[in-house]
Structures are given as C-alpha cells and as structure tokens.
Chains A and B, each alone.
Chain A
C-alpha cells in the first residue's frame, strides 16, 4: 500500500523574515496568513497564470495557488500570442497579478496581518504528488512543451540546490534577483529558497545597473545577487558601484571566465555559476574563476547520449534529455563542451532554430529564407530572406507576434536566392560564406561612401 506523503509549504520558523515588500520586513508567519487568506479568495480554476511583476506578490500568489490545490503555469515569455495559445491548451485557467485578479486588496490592507500575531502550527501540508507548476520550453515543434513539477520535485530539487549554492553563504542570506520569478532560474532561487531555508528576498526585479545597486542596498547583509550574463556584463560596463555583495549567482547562459574575474575584482565578491535546464532544474555549479569542472548536485546521474545528455534523478518524473554535450570526469563532475547545433540561447532564453526557420518560411510572400546565429558577441540572430515584395521591417513585423523579441533577427538581409543544394539542403558553411560576402560588400560600400 502506497502511503501518500505530505510536506509543509514552508520549513521556516514564523518569526524569520521571508521578504522585504515595499520596504517592509515580512515575517514567515504573516506571509502564511496572507497566503492562506489569498488562497480562499482565488477563482475556482485548476491553473493560474501568475504574471505578477512584484516578487513578493508572485510568491504569495504561487503559494496561495498551491494551498488552493491549483497549479501555476510559467509561460516562456509575455507575448499575447503565447498566453493565448497556452490559455487554449489550459482552458480551466485564470490570470493572477495583472489585469485579472489583482493585489489591490493586499495593498489596501485586507490581507495584511501584523508581525508577531501568528501561530506556527497551522502550516499547510501539501501532497507530494500535487501538481504545483508547469514550466514551458520551446522546442523544434513550435508548440511550447510542458514540464510538470509536483511538490516533491520542487522540494527535493530545492534541497539539492541549497546544498549546492548556499553551502558557503552562512546561516542567512538576503537575495536580489534580476531574473523574473516566472523563469525557472528565478523560481528556484527567489521563490523556493525563501520558502525552504533562511533566505530573505527583495520584492524588486531591478533592470538597469543603478536599480540593481539600489535594490542590493535596500537589503541587510549578507547579500547575494541572482542574475545572468547579459545583466552582469551590463553591470560591469556601467561603472556603477555596488554595496558589499557576498556572492553573485549566474545562470541561463555560459559566463566567460574573464567577466567573472572582472566581477569578482570590481565588486569584491565571489561568482558562482549554475548549470541546469527548465526540464531538470539546476543540476550543477562551479566557482567560475577557480574551477573548470562542474560539480554535479548529489541528486542527479548523468549519461552521455548521442545528441545530448541524459539526466536521471529520483525526484524527476522521468529521464530528461538536454541538448548540451558534456564530458564526464567522474560521477560527481563534468566538463561542458557545447550545445547541440539547433538550440540557441539568447538573453537566457532557449530557442530552436528549426522552429524559428519554420516560422520565417510561413510568412506570406517569403519565397525562401534562413535565420541563423553568426555567433558574435551581440548574440543576435541574423536572417537572409528571399521576398521580392517585402522589406526587412515587413519580415520582422510578421514574426513579432509569434517570436520572443530576443530571437527576432537583426539585421534582415534581402537576398536574390539562397545557396541551397539540389536536395534542398542548406549547408551551414554555405550560409556562412554568403553572410561573409554580404558583410564584405557592406564594408566596401562604407569605404567608398
């Protein structure tokens, strides 16, 4: 007979601080009361789109949904088209945090409790197999693929993450994240950490370097920044000075050793890089400046496959294949060799070139075309398109509703034909040659102009 397991929504003591919300310290007990009150007010649907831009409100909504037996959907971007498509796939859903159900009542004080007035014994228990979140990944089929996460997956994964990331950060930590909570990297750090260990989060999602500095300053020490290479490079180049920072955690794309070194020097901090996927969550980490190999979290087993790597873990629903190519050093560490050719990673988002190209060819009046990565520092994709009646702006406008902004090609070159082989295949060497010719012609034009 299988005994159904339950785990509490939080492992923390009621007087610990879970978040700084609009400048105010929120105790765990107060948060629990607010989450339970919100749970009783939520619409009666199975799925919630939580679009809150305030991190504490996201946390509240996330937990309230779980307490109410619901599941939070995590769309890969905020495009209307994406949300509409997902809403069609999940018709029994509502929107939390923006134009749907709003947090006005929280701000007006209806849900707000007072510090110190809560009992610790009424901590909601959640079934280990309750579906709590679905994260979506874009693949080559065009439709976002669902990755369901039950409570046990989130909890067990988090304890692995805590052991991996927080072993050197002391008894308590205050975190600012630049990555939204709707992204797995944001969820695992800025939502699950404050529930399961002694971490306090800032409710901000700062964007510009100056905002990042102020958000860090608003927290007590010790402090950590959870971010990604695009933001960290901007931070470095901006010349902004940061207050004392214990750690910088980076994920979503590889961070160059050089940038990590500069960050450690300029901000007197340590940079810990994290490796994972939406499907598996975080699986490994390393101190970028001093370690070449990645340390695998104890929860996981890796197997080198033909087109990628297979990941197994007790708390995951099945074997997961990721498109990264690794070299195992031993059961606990590996080297990262690169990514499978189809997948591109831009500003922390994963996209499929096959899917993008399919969408390009579906644009009316496009006879032929290709979107590819020229692999420059700017990370942007480039397109070469055959469409006698269209201009580059027309192509981009046609793609905008269905493609995440970071994958929109720039620039788009209009060309008379693509160098396809007789079989119709387009070799990447041929694409590269054609692109280099275009650049050469441009340089020559600029010189004679």
Chain B
C-alpha cells in the first residue's frame, strides 16, 4: 500500500521538520521506500537526531536489536510500527 496512514503522515512531518529536509515534503515520503542510504538518503547523523525527536515526541527510546540497526527502521512504515508498538 503506497499511501500513508495518518500516523505515518505525522511521523513523516516530524522527520521533515527535525532534519530540515528542504527538498522533500512530508507527503512525498513513500511509506515503503528506504529512509537511510537510498530512498530518502538519511545518514547516521540524521538517525541520532531523529531518535532524539522521537524520544521527545513519543517518550520512547529507539533501540536496535541487532548489529544492522538501520535495517530495523528501514522505512517510514517499519519505523512507525516500531513506535506504535511501544506507545499506548
């Protein structure tokens, strides 16, 4: 499914705002496109900034479960699912 859910849109807006992404609007972030490397092209500095913004907004700490930490939050969809699982 290519369209964003309401929660995914909210998360996309957080990403665009906290990372100062000038060339992208929130609705342009495809839910299943990669956030890091390809796709949106975020890097490790962004990952830390984003983790902080998520902590501040959703009161949860991002955590990687294995050595390929960026895979766990590969897309807007998986990142949103991770957050939703941990917030009531």
Q: Which of A205, A391, A392, A405 lies in contact with B37, CB distance below 8 A?
A: A405
Give Cα distance in the complex from A238 to B51, angstroms.
Answer: 8
Asked if A412 is at the interface (CB within 8 A of a chain B CB), the reply is yes
> Are B22 and A411 interface neighbours, CB within 8 A?
yes
List the A side residues contacting B43 at CB < 8 Å. 347, 405-406, 408
Question: Per DSSP, are chain B's interface residues mostly helix, strand or loop, or mixed?
Answer: loop
**What interface size band does chain A fall in?**
20 to 34
Q: Does A207 contact B (CB under 8 A)?
A: yes
Flag if B41 contacts A405 (CB, 8 Å).
yes
| In the complex, chain A residues 376-407 whose Cβ is within 8 Å of any chain B Cβ | 378-380, 391-393, 396, 400, 405-406
Interface contact A392-B69, CB-CB below 8 Å: no
Mask: chain B, 20-38; 1 = CB below 8 Å from A; 0 = not: 1111000000000000010
State A346–B44 Cα separation when bound (angstroms).
11
Contact residues in A for B23 (Cβ distance below 8 Å): 391-393, 411-412
Is B84 an interface residue, CB under 8 A from the partner?
no
Q: Could you give, for residues 39-66 of chain B, a 1 whenever the CB lies within 8 Å of some chain A CB and a 0 otherwise?
A: 0010111011101100100000111100
Q: In the complex, are the beta carbons of B61 and A240 less than 8 A apart?
A: yes
Chain A positions 408-422 with a Cβ under 8 Å from a chain B Cβ: 408, 410-412
Query: Which residue in chain B gives the minimum CB-CB distance to A214?
Result: B63
CB contacts (< 8 Å) of A318 on chain B: these are none
Are A208's CB and B51's CB within 8 A?
Answer: yes
Asked, given contacts A392-B23, A405-B41, A406-B43, whether A234 binds B63 with beta carbons under 8 Å apart, the answer is no
Cβ of A53 within 8 Å of any chain B Cβ, yes or no, is: yes
- Interface status of B85 (Cβ within 8 A of chain A): no
Q: Is B6 an interface residue (CB 8 A)?
A: no
How many whole Å from B70's CB to the nearest CB in chain A? 8
Chain A residues with Cβ under 8 A from B87's Cβ?
none
Residue of B with least CB distance to A240: B61
Whether A230 pairs with B45 at a CB distance below 8 angstroms is: yes
Residues in A neighbouring B20, C-beta threshold 8 A: 378, 410-411
Which residues from B are CB-within-8-Å of A346? 45
Within 8 Å of chain B (Cβ to Cβ): is A109?
no
Interchain CB contact (< 8 A) of A408 among B41, B48, B64 = B41
A54 contacts the other chain (Cβ, under 8 Å)? yes
A53 lies within 8 A of B61 (CB): no
A424: CB under 8 A from chain B?
no
Q: Of all chain A residues, which has the CB nearest B60?
A: A210
A211 at the binding interface (Cβ < 8 Å): yes
Does chain B have a CB within 8 A of A23? no
Shortest CB-to-CB span from A186 to chain B, Å, is 14
User: For A405, what are the chain B residues with a Cβ–Cβ distance below 8 Å?
Assistant: 37, 41, 43-44
Residue A157 CB within 8 A of the other chain: no
Verify B41–A400 contact, CB threshold 8 A. yes
**Given the contacts A237-B52, A238-B51, A396-B41, A211 and B67 also touching, CB distance less than 8 Å:** no
User: A351 contacts the other chain (Cβ, under 8 Å)?
Assistant: no
In the complex, besides A347-B45, A393-B23, A411-B22, 19 extra interface pairs with C-beta distance below 8 angstroms are: A207-B44, A208-B47, A208-B61, A208-B63, A208-B64, A209-B51, A210-B61, A231-B48, A234-B52, A237-B52, A238-B52, A240-B61, A346-B45, A380-B45, A391-B23, A392-B22, A405-B41, A410-B21, A410-B22
Report the 3 A-B pairs with minimum CB-CB distance, sorted nearest first.
Answer: A405-B43, A210-B61, A411-B22
Residues of A within 8 A of B (CB): 53-54, 204-211, 214, 230-231, 234, 237-240, 346-347, 378-380, 391-393, 396, 400, 405-406, 408, 410-412
Show 18 A/B contacts (Cβ-Cβ < 8 Å), sorted by A.
A53-B68, A205-B67, A206-B64, A207-B44, A207-B69, A208-B47, A214-B63, A230-B48, A237-B52, A238-B55, A238-B61, A346-B45, A391-B23, A393-B23, A396-B41, A406-B44, A408-B41, A411-B20
